[in-house]
Amino acid sequence: MIYRLLADFVLILHFLFIGFVIFGGLLALRYAWIALAHIPAACWGAFIELTGGVCPLTVIEVGLRRIAGDSGYSDSFIEHYLLPVIYPLGLTRDIQFWLAGLVVLINVAIYGGLVYRLWISRSICRRRGS
């Protein structure tokens, strides 16, 4: 029972990490320090998608499920609703490349906007100081 709960916890953590990879840049617009964690996370997410690698969270989750005696996923709420989002059926390498490109594009746009805002605010401060 405990291993199944731990596996569910890792699944939720994985889901949150994916959300952070995709949308964490939006938090960085409000809290610039978040970029220190988000940029490496986004790079990792893009790397995993582009190389077809396996995220360590997947390995941990599957290992915990095997220890729990599960041969696959059962129909708990978490598994029923979150698994198809994290592990969609029919995921191909082409789709993974598109997803990686989308993650990169979203984050380049967000960080480009952040850099532009910082540049504008600094130029305004310089004009006021002159």
SS3 of 59-99: HHHHHHHHHCCCCCCCCCHHHHHHHHHHCCCCCCHHHHHHH
Mean of per-residue pLDDT scores for the chain:
83
Please state at what angle helix 35-51 crosses helix 93-129, rounded to 10 degrees.
Answer: 160
Residue of higher predicted confidence among 72 and 77: 72
Answer yes or no: is pLDDT of 35 > 80.
yes
Greater model confidence, 2 or 29: 2
Asked if 22 and 83 touch (Cβ cutoff 8 Å), the reply is: no
Cβ distance 52 to 97 under 8 Å? no
Instruction: Report how far apart the first and last C-alpha atoms of the chain are (Å, whole number).
Output: 67
Give the pLDDT mean for 77-85: 62
Q: Whole-model pTM?
A: 0.71
- Residue extents of the structural domains in the chain: 2-129
pLDDT, position 95: 81
Residues 108 and 122: their CA atoms lie apart, in Å, by 21
Position 77 scores a pLDDT of 45
What pLDDT is attached to residue 55? 85
Q: Which residues contact 20 (CB under 8 A, 6 or more apart)?
A: 38, 41
pLDDT in tens, 96-120: 788 888 888 988 998 998 888 888 8
CB-CB neighbours of 107 under 10 Å? 25
Give residue 34's pLDDT band: very low, low, confident or very high (50, 70, 90). very high
| Predicted confidence (pLDDT) at residue 83 exceeds the cutoff of 60 | yes
Distance CA 16, CA 11 (A): 9
**Predicted pLDDT at 1:** 83
Q: What is the pLDDT of residue 22?
A: 85
Both tokens assigned to 105: 């594009």
